[in-house]
Structure 1
């Protein structure tokens, strides 16, 4: 089945972004209770590249398909879940990478490295970790999995914060205020 990625985030309205989010139907992994569990021999590197048995998975369609089955449990373990099996997957940092961010009205929209779109807000909060010299910005993507903003996306977000006229490095989205600086 051919895959058409969504248009560039900069060309989409908030309504179009919300519609694209709504149209992305993910498998109901939360409802599945597979009896078999094991190790997938897969790894997601800190930069967002996917590997199986030390070989990189280069087909974006495969990465997107696997990502749709991904979840993270309360202990922090990531899993690929199907109706028949639950396989562990190693995640070095975050399961996804935020690759573009745009302000639309009172919301921030984020594109992930899997072409998924997320609207930052109460269901998808933004958190700052690390230290003030090297902050790491994360967004809750789905099913316990997080996305880490890459360097250029962090720079976009910092420009948005400065453009909002705040000197405290805060941004607002979906009625919530988020700091771009980790707590001291």
Structure 2
């Protein structure tokens, strides 16, 4: 991955798959080659050497070889691994389609790199509250230990779909997807 030109073009070879699925980055354990000046901003914009990577195909390619090892994000090929900076989450959930209602509702999200994710037991939703501002930051599990920050407009859609359910003796607002209830916030008194 050290072979990236100034416009963010990947020069190293990544094995071509059969057009199905993602590269098996979890199986690749090459030597760590250091950190590179690549950053994913909170809004999902990818930067290389301080400049946004404008080629969507390049961003999509990089998004297939990202991995999180503990709290460190890396881009991995079979021959090298480099560290990158991620401001919040590597993906952003930018659209939502809700099918059905109640416990049989299914929530389908699309990320900024066009990954489609159905919320459920394998892809849970969670909401963190900022301790100082109490502003919610909702996340959707995408794959392995990688998440998407749910865009504010999409979060508003979730809130519109929210229903009340009692959890551990307290009323919560939340949404159903694939038979799983995901709490968003305690029901105001």
Report the TM-score range of the alignment, normalised by the length of the smaller protein.
0.7 to 0.9
Is 1:100 equivalent to 2:100 in the alignment? Answer: no
- Structure with more of its chain in strand, by fraction: 2
Any unmatched runs of 5+ in structure 1? 1-22
Aligned pairs, how many?
A: 157
Cα deviation digits, residues 111-164 of structure 1 (max 9, x gap): 100011001111111111024841110011112111011111111111111xx5
After TM superposition, list the pairs within 5 Å mapping 1:73-112 onto structure 2.
73=69, 75-105=70-100, 106-112=105-111
TM-score (norm 1): 0.79
Is 1:40 equivalent to 2:41 in the alignment? Answer: no
Cα deviation digits, residues 12-35 of structure 1 (max 9, x gap): xxxxxxxxxxx8511010111112
How many Å separate the matches in 2 of 1:54 and 1:48? 14
How many Å separate the matches in 1 of 2:115 and 2:32? 29
- Structure with more of its chain in helix, by fraction: 1
Is 1:56 equivalent to 2:52 in the alignment? Answer: yes
SS in 1 for 2:43: coil
Tell me which structure has the larger Cα radius of gyration: 2
Any unmatched runs of 5+ in structure 2? 1-18, 166-170
The runs of at least 4 consecutive aligned structure 1 residues that moved more than 4 Å come to 164-167
TM-score (norm 2): 0.77
Once superposed, what is the RMSD of the aligned Cα atoms? Answer: 1.9
SS in 2 for 1:181: strand
